[in-house]
Structure 1
Amino acid sequence: MLGLQAVRQRHILNVMSDKKQPVPAKANPAPVESQSSTGEIDAFIRQARTLAASATGSGRLILSLDATMSRQPTWDLACALQGEMFDAVGKAGALKVQLVYFRGLGECRSSGFVTDTDALKQLMTRIECRSGQTQIGKVLAHALKQTAAARVNALVYIGDAMEENIDDLAEKAGSLGLHGVPVFVFQEGHDAGAEKAFKEIARLTKGAWFRFDRR
């Protein structure tokens, strides 16, 4: 009888032990960061080709970039990616391209409109980053001046920060939108204030915002 009771007690203990076994927790999926998809980049290239095909004579495209010191750590990678953009735009056909960049204390320069994008790539690789504030307003004002002289079909801007009055930028962006100049903004990094401003510029001009990195 004692032996039977001992067996029953062991059985009860085993059942209770099984119930106490923890249920493995489901691993939480890692957050997926929003990135510009290959489809979005392809859409931009198709847009460039459409501009070239639909423009009377040669379409005009402004490629502008922030060359302030905050971009120095990734400048080589950025130049490589921007060079690939030049190559893609160069293959689009009848497009005249102008390079605009700003850096330092109020320095904002532009090239002429050219069809030889290799020359612009060489110019870009000679640019050195210098400390200074962003000058996005100057880039937008420059685009307005250029399209007043002869239509600019699109403006591409590449940068990582925004240190200006967003209302002033929105006013200029709205004017570009009225002139039919879409702005395609490629943001390097994850500055939230810059992202808000860049997306607003893209919205007001009926352009688009993209994340700018190797992916």
Structure 2
Amino acid sequence: MAMNDSSKPLKTANPATAPAPAGSSAIDAFLGSAKRLAPVADSDPRGRLVFALDATMSRQPTWDLACRLQADMFGATASLAGLAVQLVYFRGFDECRSSRWVADAAALTSLMGRIDCRGGQTQIARVLRHVRTEAGRTPVRALVYVGDAMEEPVDELCAVAGELGLLGVKAFMFHEGADADAGRAFREIARLTGGAYAHFDAGAAGRLAGLLRAAAAYASGGTVALHRLASREGEARRLLTAMPGGGR
């Protein structure tokens, strides 16, 4: 299968600019749900976090797990400035989509529940470029990426990751499985952005939940909030340790 052109713009959940193919009920459902979610205003003080997931065929169990656990991100920031999340996913042939910015865990759960995983190659470069565009409009503090593979030129990914670092976006790369190429690429993306890499296994729901809470705490309250969470949660401590300079 030919590699997808990662320079293509990311499709959004706005049906006026990204119409779904006729007969694609799953995409129609995604667009309809995204349209109903209350958008977060650009002036909203909540910390912004892009939650990006690989939704290719092998990812269904982890997608379902992330759908159950994403509410932990909002819970971890309840006492802080709050959290605004944008869901981004890719799957199938050349399909890569994003939702609006939302601050409602229940609505985001409903949105994720309408999406199933489909075979295809990774489109990480498109995700990174999309985050770069979003951060150029309104500051984005963190990218959380959950995946198990990397099928793209790593130098291309690193170039965009470096730009994200300059924009102040830290990438938290959560790697499932044992793909060595993916691990190397994810570590480098995290390093170039000043973020962190963490490995987890499919059966370790508690670990992924802790990692999501830690990344959300950083997105909402910066390193101060992450240090505070690290004083009582092991995954937050590990994530903090993995960041350059211990998150200072």
TM-score when scaled to structure 1? 0.69
CA deviations over 1:133-182 (Å, ceiling 9, x no partner):
00110110000000111111111111111001100000000000111110
Cα distance 1:105–1:82, how it changes in 2: closer, same or farther (>3 A)?
Answer: same
Cα distance 1:90–1:128, how it changes in 2: closer, same or farther (>3 A)?
Answer: farther
Does structure 2 conserve the Cα–Cα contact (< 8 Å) formed by 1:62 and 1:143?
yes
1:4 equivalent in structure 2: none
2:137 equivalent in structure 1: 149
2:244 equivalent in structure 1: none
Structure 2 residue aligned with 1:88, among 58, 76, 81?
76
Does structure 2 conserve the Cα–Cα contact (< 8 Å) formed by 1:97 and 1:117?
no
Q: Secondary structure at the match of 1:132?
A: coil
Cα offset for 1:94? 2.4
Across the aligned residues of Structure 1 and Structure 2, the Cα RMSD in angstroms comes to 2.0
Does structure 1 conserve the Cα–Cα contact (< 8 Å) formed by 2:56 and 2:122?
yes
Cα distance 1:78–1:57, how it changes in 2: closer, same or farther (>3 A)?
Answer: closer
1:171 aligns with 2:159: yes
Aligned partners of 2:74 and 2:186: how far apart in 1? 21
2:174 equivalent in structure 1: 186
Gaps of 5+ in 1: 1-54
2:148 equivalent in structure 1: 160
Cα distance 1:91–1:110, how it changes in 2: closer, same or farther (>3 A)?
Answer: farther
Does structure 1 conserve the Cα–Cα contact (< 8 Å) formed by 2:53 and 2:89?
yes
Cα offset for 1:201? 0.3
Q: How many residues align?
A: 161
Cα distance 1:137–1:86, how it changes in 2: closer, same or farther (>3 A)?
Answer: farther
Q: Matched residues, percent identical?
A: 58
Aligned AA (2:91): R
Does structure 1 conserve the Cα–Cα contact (< 8 Å) formed by 2:141 and 2:170?
yes
Cα distance 1:83–1:95, how it changes in 2: closer, same or farther (>3 A)?
Answer: closer
CA deviations over 1:56-112 (Å, ceiling 9, x no partner):
823211111110002135443343344444543566542211111111101111111
1:104 aligns with 2:89: no
Does structure 2 conserve the Cα–Cα contact (< 8 Å) formed by 1:95 and 1:115?
yes
Structure 1 residue aligned with 2:122, among 130, 134, 148?
134
Q: Secondary structure at the match of 1:108?
A: strand
Aligned partners of 2:63 and 2:44: how far apart in 1? 36
Larger Rg: 1
TM-score when scaled to structure 2? 0.60
